[in-house]
């Protein structure tokens, strides 16, 4: 026991608070402030090498580490779950390097780092939601030239974005894009909400929490300040629809949360459970209280 606490002390001495050095954090904070001032605009920043590969959330971790203060209560989720590899390792990383308190409860957390989901529990003011973003440029697969996409953003030439939605409807009869569904932030920049399911898109609109997006490999930071209008792109006759699997969670019975499909037997039997583990636990607790 004694030895372990010694080790912990040692770790804190070795690492600067939250791993990154102060100058780097300052650089990231500058980018973050700029990003908050121009909602949806992708601010370039000089992304650092992190002690994990690109694609594991290096962008999100850098943003988190620039925002973290010792008082923070951190929650990390991956696809909505607190107990998946990515979430566990990032949480441990910050416990080790910043010694901050951690939680699985959405409502207790002051800073939430997320991959691919927005928590079901409504976020509050003074909470920060940090997204891990693989590709920050919503126009990337439509126009490969970065010089051109920047120009398109600057002149808000977003016809091409609608061509993508048009192609979806022409091919599938409805807008097939189910994740990373493009949004217009503050009526200005078209933004990639990171690969969250489009079920979560409405939660971004007018959210009381600060939403920060970090893309490490692509070296971009963007943000949506609290109470900002975020509109999912659509056609008049094919309006945006937040969709989810039409089932109930087989653990908590909730029908209004986003579900994961899991195959439970060799003959292909399926089961659906909440992807947000914290929400699922809360609902189960509420249900058992009701039964009592």
- Chosen residue from 48, 124, 167, 271 binding other proteins by CB under 8 A: 167
C-beta closer to other proteins: residue 15 or 162: 162
Among 162, 177, 217, 251, binds other proteins (CB under 8 A): 162
Binding footprint of other proteins, residue count (CB under 8 A): 17
| Nearest one of 142, 3, 130, 162 to 60, comparing CA atoms | 130
Q: Given 40, 59, 60, 216, which residue is catalytic?
A: 40
For position 147 contacting other proteins by CB under 8 A, the verdict is: no
Active-site residue, selected from the candidate residues 57, 214, 216, 249: 249
Considering beta carbons, is residue 102 or 169 the nearer one to other proteins?
169
How are the residues of the chain apportioned to helix, strand and coil, as percentages rounded to the nearest 5? Answer: 35, 20, 50
Q: Select from 61-69, 102-110, 154-162, 249-257 the region that touches other proteins (CB under 8 A).
A: 154-162
Report yes or no: 185 and 213 within 8 Å, Cβ to Cβ. no
Q: Is 37 a catalytic residue?
A: no
Q: Are 70 and 98 in contact (CB under 8 A)?
A: yes
* Residue of 2, 13, 22, 159 that binds other proteins (CB under 8 A): 159
Contact between 238 and other proteins by CB under 8 A: the answer reads yes
The minimum distance between CB 213 and other proteins, in angstroms, equals 26
CB of 154 to other proteins, least distance (A): 8
DSSP code for 122 = P
Question: Which residues are bridge partners to 260 per DSSP?
Answer: 273
Question: Where is 166: in which H helix or E strand?
Answer: helix 159-172
* CB closer to other proteins, 184 vs 203: 184
d(CA 148, CA 159): 14
Q: How many CA atoms lie within 13 A of 291 on its CB side?
A: 7
236 makes contact with other proteins (CB under 8 A): yes
Integer Cα distance of 264 and 266 in angstroms: 7
> Is residue 160 a contact point for other proteins (CB under 8 A)?
yes
Consecutive H or E run containing 146: helix 146-154
Degrees, nearest 5: CA angle 125-198-63: 45
67 is catalytic: no
Q: Could you give the 3-state DSSP secondary structure of residue 81?
A: strand
54 is a site residue for other proteins (CB under 8 A):
no
Chain contacts with other proteins (rule: CB under 8 A) = 154-155, 157-160, 162-163, 166-167, 169-171, 235-238
* Residues annotated as catalytic (active site), given as ranges: 40, 249, 252, 274, 280
């Amino acid at each position: 026991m004694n030895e372990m606490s010694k080790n912990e002390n040692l770790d804190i001495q070795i690492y600067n608070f939250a791993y990154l050095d102060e100058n780097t954090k300052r650089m990231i904070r500058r980018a973050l402030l700029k990003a908050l001032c121009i909602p949806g605009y992708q601010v370039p920043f000089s992304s650092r090498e992190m002690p994990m590969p690109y694609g594991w959330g290096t962008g999100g971790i850098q943003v988190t580490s620039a925002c973290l203060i010792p008082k923070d209560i951190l929650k990390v989720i991956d696809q909505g779950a607190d107990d998946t590899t990515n979430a566990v390792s990032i949480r441990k990383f910050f416990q080790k390097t910043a010694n901050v308190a951690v939680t699985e409860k959405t409502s207790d957390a002051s800073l939430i780092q997320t991959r691919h989901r927005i928590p079901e529990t409504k976020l509050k003011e003074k909470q920060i939601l940090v997204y891990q973003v693989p590709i920050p440029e919503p126009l990337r697969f439509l126009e490969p030239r970065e010089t051109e996409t920047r120009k398109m953003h600057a002149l808000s030439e977003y016809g091409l974005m609608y061509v993508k939605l048009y192609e979806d409807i022409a091919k599938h009869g409805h807008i097939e894009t189910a994740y990373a569904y493009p949004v217009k932030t503050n009526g200005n920049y078209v933004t990639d909400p990171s690969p969250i399911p489009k079920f979560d898109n409405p939660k971004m609109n007018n959210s009381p929490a600060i939403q920060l997006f970090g893309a490490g490999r692509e070296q971009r930071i963007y943000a949506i300040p609290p109470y900002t209008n975020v509109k999912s792109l659509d056609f008049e006759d094919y309006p945006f629809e937040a969709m989810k699997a039409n089932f109930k969670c087989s653990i908590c019975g909730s029908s209004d949360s986003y579900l994961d499909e899991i195959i439970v037997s060799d003959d292909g039997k399926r089961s659906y459970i909440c992807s947000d583990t914290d929400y699922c636990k809360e609902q189960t607790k509420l249900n058992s209280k009701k039964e009592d």
